Every structure is written in structure tokens, then in C-alpha cells.
A and B are shown apart, each in its own frame.
Chain A
């Protein structure tokens, strides 16, 4: 999230930096985005 949003890296650049596959980056990215979206729309106690 930090590397993409604040540094501006592409998924490929993040994959190279972290030593993981691009698919892993994309998978983690969509999950993080989903989590953030839930927090932003439903608040911190989203799961409660």
C-alpha cells in the first residue's frame, strides 16, 4: 500500500523490491484495498 500509493511504484516494481511475485502483490493489494474501503465506509467497528 505504501509503495504503491506514496512512492508510486508499479506492481512489478513492488514485486522486485519485496522479492515476491507480481501476483502476490496484486492479491495483497486487493485485500488491503478492500479492508480500507470497509473501514472508510463502515467505520472501525465494521465487523462488530
Chain B
């Protein structure tokens, strides 16, 4: 759609709206002259405008991210209701205020926390004191948030795209976090038996919790199909 045409349609559309409703058709015909395409554009938009006089409808009125995270005010109100566990060792860490402990392990503890700059709940991993200053651990943490994070996310997206179900379900954020940390998702082929076994392997590999190996490349082709082990 050429920008010039859109501009012409828009100009005539707005001018037509300024006319009395009974005179609009004649105005549009006059303004568009012999350009039938232009006239059809303007007329269809005017018709739609008249059809939907209530332009306060919610279509696109809220930023796209609210579709995923919910309305900011609603989210703030619901998150503000969360009371922090009084037994937490500390209340906050930087911009993260702790809500409750989710899981603990040899290296550290994972808390459900509120990230205040974005007003969202996150899983916050805090390493144990004895590991502080450990270059090895610091490097491990850095590695954990490298491309593997993207691969994990890709695995989750593939899982949902192939099964029509999210891998971890729950009504509360902490339930879902707990599952992500502690449980394995149902194998995709159990939900969608028509799925190729190799594809399932790739999805589960991408979502592995402690990935020691990374899929370097995966091409779905007759050559690679059936030889997924080679891709790992």
C-alpha cells in the first residue's frame, strides 16, 4: 500500500467526517474524482467508522505487553497483596524484594521475588556465602545466562507450538516456578503422538535443566531425520 495513497485516503476521510452526514457521499465522490480505488477505500473506512461509533472499544488501546503480563495497575494491585514470608533471611536484594523461598540446593537458594523496576515476579537465585568469590561459580552463572537461556526459551515455545499446551501449568506463579525448577515436562509425544521422535528429543534437550551439552545445529532434513543423536 503506497504511503501516498494512505495519506490521500486519510485526508479525504477526515474531511468527509467534517461534512454533514447527508452530504458525505457526494463529498467523497467529488474529492476522489475518477479514482475508483481511492473512493472505495474512503467509503469502506467511513462505513466501518459509522458501524462502530464506540471508539472507546479496547482494540489496541493497551500496550501489547499487557496481553502477556496483565494491566500494569491491576498487576501492581495483585502483586502488592503478596505478603513476604517473615522467615526470609533478608527482605530485599537490590531492586528485588523477596516474597518466599522456592527451592534450595548445594550452590544456592531460589526465591520468588518482585522485580520493582518492571513490577513482575521473578525467580531469584542467590548463591551461598561459601561460594562467594569463587571465580568458577561466577563463570558458571555467566554461562547460565548466555545462549542457553535463549535455547531454553526456544524449547518452551516449540513445546507449546507442537502440543498446544504449555510445559508447566499452575494457577500461581510460584507453582509454575517450582515446576520449572523441580519437575520435567510431559514428553511432547504423549500429548501429540503424531510428533516425530527426533523433534521431541530436540525440544526436551533445549529444555534440559542442567544443560552440559548444547545442540549446535539442528536441521530437519531427510539426512538428519532419524539421526538425532548426532545433533546432540
Q: Is there contact, CB below 8 Å, between A5 and B44?
A: no
- For B10, the chain A residues whose CB sits under 8 A away are 28, 31
- Smallest CB-CB separation from B72: which chain A residue? A8
- Interface size class on chain A is 20 to 34
Tell which of B6, B49, B63, B65 has the most Cβ of chain A within 10 Å.
Answer: B63
Q: Which of B13, B44, B60, B63 contacts A33 (CB 8 A)?
A: B60
CB-defined interface of A1-43 with B at 8 Å, one 1/0 digit per residue? 1001111100000000000000000011011011111100010
Whether the pair A31, B64 counts as a contact (CB closer than 8 A) is no
Q: Inside 8 A of A28's CB, which chain B residues have their CB? A: 10
Closest Cβ of chain B: how far from A36's Cβ, in Å? 7
By the criterion CB–CB under 8 Å, are A6 and B14 in contact? no
Interface status of B90 (Cβ within 8 A of chain A): no
Contacting pair A30 B55 (CB below 8 A): yes
Contact check, A42 vs B60: say whether CB atoms are below 8 A apart: no
| Closest chain A residue, CB of each to CB of B66 | A8
State whether A6 touches B63 (Cβ < 8 A): yes
- What CA separation (Å) do A10 and B209 show in the bound complex? 40
Who on chain B is nearest to A38 by CB? B48
Residues of A within 8 A of B13 (CB): 31
The reply to whether A37 and B41 form a contact with Cβ atoms under 8 Å apart is no
- A33–B48 Cα gap in the complex (Å)? 11
Task: Determine how close the nearest CB of chain A comes to the CB of B60; give it in whole angstroms.
Answer: 6
Of the residues B44, B55, B59, contact of A42 by C-beta under 8 Å:
B44
By a CB distance below 8 angstroms, the chain A residues around B226 are none
Residues of B within 8 A of A5 (CB): 60, 63-64
Q: How far is the CB of B43 from chain A (nearest CB, A)?
A: 8
Name the one of B40, B55, B63 contacting A8, with C-beta atoms under 8 angstroms: B63
Do A33 and B40 have beta carbons less than 8 Å apart?
no
CB contact list, B54-91 vs A, under 8 A: 55, 59-60, 63-65
Nearest residue (CB) in B for A30 is B55
**Chain A residues with CB under 8 A of B60:** 1, 4-5, 33, 36
A-B contact pairs, 9 of them (CB 8 A): A27-B14, A31-B13, A31-B45, A33-B60, A34-B48, A35-B45, A37-B52, A47-B44, A48-B40
Residues in chain B within 8 A of chain A (CB atoms) = 6, 10, 13-14, 37, 40-41, 44-45, 48-49, 52, 55, 59-60, 63-65
Additional 14 contacts, C-beta under 8 A, given A4-B63, A31-B45, A37-B52: A4-B60, A8-B63, A27-B14, A28-B10, A31-B10, A31-B13, A34-B45, A34-B48, A35-B6, A37-B48, A42-B44, A47-B41, A48-B37, A48-B40
